[in-house]
Amino acid sequence: MRIYLKFDFNTICKTVIQEQLNAMGMDYTIHGVGEVEFRRKPTQDEEQRMEDMLGNYGIEIMDDHQIALVQRVKDTVTEWILDEELPKRYNFSTYLSDKLNYTYTYLSSIFSEATYSSIENFVILKKIDIAKTFIGQNNLTLTEIAYKLNYSSVAHLSAQFKKTTGLTPSSFQKIIKKRKERSLTKE
């Protein structure tokens, strides 16, 4: 039997962080995506315990503010794409600026400097990555996927998919289907 799950990465991460910091008795406030402020500076032992405890969940503490900010931009992009409750017609640059409390120009500059790519390009790559996941799950039509990912049409999704992956969505779907069939025959 197979079940399909829908989950919110940000809620999961926030819950894990809260549980672990509460278990340590830390006094903190979580600010937005991926930022925790402590009322007092943690000791070296506390920092090491936090790194170990959070590391078990794949959560890493970052020292560099710019790297942390780039990660927050990436997390916010993912949240914006996946959260069906957010109005997608809302200008993304305004949403990002409001969410992270920095101007879009500043965020764009830091992001480009660190990744050698633009935020816009990252949004496209992330959307295509999510589209590939949806196509692989085989429970949504291309029209539904285009709608969920805020594309103006299936043609727009298909063109961006082909430009990014070199394959049309239907070709990609056929490849995934063949792989699944092969893995089932091997079992």
Tens digits of per-residue pLDDT, 153-184? 999 999 999 999 999 998 998 888 888 777 77
In a domain, 26, yes or no: yes
DSSP 42: P
Q: Which of 48, 52, 46 is nearest to 27 (CA)?
A: 46
pLDDT score of 156: 94
In a domain, 66, yes or no: no
Q: What does the block give as tokens for 25?
A: 């008795």
pLDDT reading at 44 higher than 80 = yes
Other CB atoms within a 10 A radius of the CB of residue 71 amount to 17
Q: Could you list the residue range(s) of the whole structural domain that residue 136 is in?
A: 122-186
Higher per-residue pLDDT: 98 or 84: 98
Spatial separation of the C-alpha atoms in residues 46 and 19, rounded to whole Å: 15
| Residue that finishes a domain, picked among 61, 83, 99 | 61
In a domain, 159, yes or no: yes
What single-letter amino acid sits at 168? T
Using DSSP's 3-state secondary structure scheme, residue 36 falls into strand
In a domain, 90, yes or no: no
The gap from C-alpha 131 to its chain's centroid, in whole angstroms, comes to 13
| Residue that finishes a domain, picked among 61, 81, 103 | 61
pLDDT score of 113: 87
pLDDT score of 64: 74
Token look-up 């299936």 returns 154
Number of structural domains, the chain?
A: 2
In a domain, 76, yes or no: no
pLDDT score of 140: 87
Stretch 34-51: mean pLDDT: 88
Spatial separation of the C-alpha atoms in residues 94 and 55, rounded to whole Å: 32
In a domain, 105, yes or no: no
Spatial separation of the C-alpha atoms in residues 15 and 54, rounded to whole Å: 11
